[in-house]
Chains A and B, each alone.
Chain A
Amino acid sequence: METSSGIRNAIEKIGEEGLFLTSFIKNTFKKGFEWNEFLRQCYKIGYMSLGIVLLTGFILGFVLTLQSLPTLKTFGAENFTPNMVSVSVIREIGPVITALICAGKIASGIGAELGSMKVSEQIDAMEVSGANPMQYLVVTKILACILMIPLLTILADGVAFLGGFVGINLNGGMNGLLYFRKTFQALSFTDLYPAVIKTFFFGFIIGFVGCYKGFNSNKGTESVGLAANAAVVTASVWIIIVDAIAVQLTSTLVYN
């Protein structure tokens, strides 16, 4: 009994998510796209997370460099530190850490915002007035995430290189020109494009999960917190799952 109703609930959930996704896609292409609100969301998302993304990016590059230096030194390969750091930052650490930070910052913000609009009947009021809350609230937020997360990731990658440069100069030193030449030498197009593509998916996950959890939160004030919390947890898990899939796909399709 228990398990069968559990399974039914799970299936119902997937059905609801599917409907929400379909509605998002339909409303994206409906006429009357909310450009102003979309731009406002882009600004808000970018502005809200810029500081923390830059800070973590810098520290990542810095720490990664300090961590790799001694090991590479034992092989007499400390000159290759920038190459190694740049590949790991671009391929994996930059996108994933930025996405996880944004899941914490943005998905929870969206979940809480829409959750409280739901609780205070603002979403119902919008709908029943004949306006389209999907188009105004959801489409704009998801698309803004899809656009902004890749940009934030690129910025994080950039400051991670700076962090690496600082790290290397505190431990022996390398001139800037050489450092950045090595950094970019190590990168090929096949490192870049799979990494960029997956950040679009991360952006989608953050926006979609935040909106879905907020839009479908229950009535009652405690559900705002629950929606925000569920948004972070679910988005983070999906980011990690999608990343694992992306790594597997790129290693079979691109590097072979």
Chain B
Amino acid sequence: MDNIIELKGLKKAFDGNGVLKDINLTVKKGENVVVIGKSGAGKSVTIKCIVRMIDPDEGSVKVFGKEVQEMNDDELRELRIKTGFLFQSGALYDSMTVRENLAFPLERVLKIKDENEIEERSKEVLEAVGLSDAIDKMPADLSGGMRKRMGLARTIIVRPEIMLYDEPTTGLDTITSREISELIMKVHKQYKTTSIIITHDMACAKITADRIVVMEDGQLIAEGTYGDLQRSEDELIRAFFK
């Protein structure tokens, strides 16, 4: 039961175009795996298969030892509660304030009714991501970096065991990127999460990765620690370090 996530022979095509061609990946408990790869390589599709937002055409997705494709509604819900998914866009609920964004998963997913507990947990996560002042703001009034933090706060408020990050630092300046990367490590330590982090940002990979896998055209072509990949002779891999 050490393997939290197991992807085997994953294949997916959209309208006849193969996007995932044969993905095999195992993530152990407490491990941070970074996935790097060019735009369109299939990174987002891969992690969407883990929470069954996308159904693969072939292959198996096991999370906590259970086949995701065979789960019933209740099991799937439970899996989704245990799995935090940080969207590339942040996906904040535009029509709600920061406070309501945070209360939403507590009330609707964890079914917490106690106002005080909701308030307390909201303050706790906002503090963790450094957004304590923003509790009454609307998402539209937040900057790009604040939106990412906010998305992260809303994801960790339910205390997930697995975190899936889709490009957490894309579009941010180097300083803010580093802050977000450090935040990911803080969440990792505080909540003991197992994570998959998709990124193009090698600085983020260096900070967060226990192990890096390289995805190219729907396949994983290399894996290793940051140092291993840095020493690689392969042109494709070298390109990421330039």
Contact = CB atoms under 8 A, between A and B. Distances in A.
20 contacts: A113-B95, A116-B94, A120-B89, A122-B92, A124-B53, A124-B87, A125-B85, A125-B87, A125-B93, A126-B93, A127-B80, A128-B53, A128-B83, A128-B85, A129-B81, A129-B105, A130-B77, A130-B78, A131-B109, A136-B108
B108 A132 contact: yes
Given A121-B87, A124-B53, A124-B87, A129 B93 contact: no
A233 interface: no
Interface in A79-131: 113, 116-117, 120-122, 124-131
A127 B94 contact: no
Interface in B31-68: 51, 53
B226 interface: no
A6 B78 CA distance: 40
Chain B's interface: helix, strand, loop or mixed, by majority?
A: loop
A124 B199 CA distance: 20
Nearest to A124: B53
Interface string A136-173: 10000000000000000000000000000000000000
B240 interface: no
Interface of A: 113, 116-117, 120-122, 124-132, 136
B105 A131 contact: yes
Contacts of B104: 126, 131
Contacts of B92: 122
A186 B75 CA distance: 60
A120 B109 CA distance: 21
A129 B158 contact: yes
A116 B85 CA distance: 20
- What are the 6 closest A-B residue pairs judged by CB atoms, nearest first? A125-B91, A130-B80, A121-B91, A130-B81, A131-B108, A130-B109
Interface string B68-79: 000000000110
A113 B93 CA distance: 11
B91 A124 contact: yes
Contacts of B53: 124, 127-128
Counting chain B CB atoms within 10 Å of each CB, which of A126, A127, A129, A136 scores highest? A129
Contacts of A131: 104-105, 108-109
B155 to A, nearest CB: 8
Nearest to B77: A130
Nearest to B155: A129
Given A128-B85, A131-B109, A132-B108, A122 B80 contact: no
A125 B88 CA distance: 11
Contacts of B93: 117, 122, 125-126
A180 B116 CA distance: 56
B50 to A, nearest CB: 10
Nearest to B151: A125
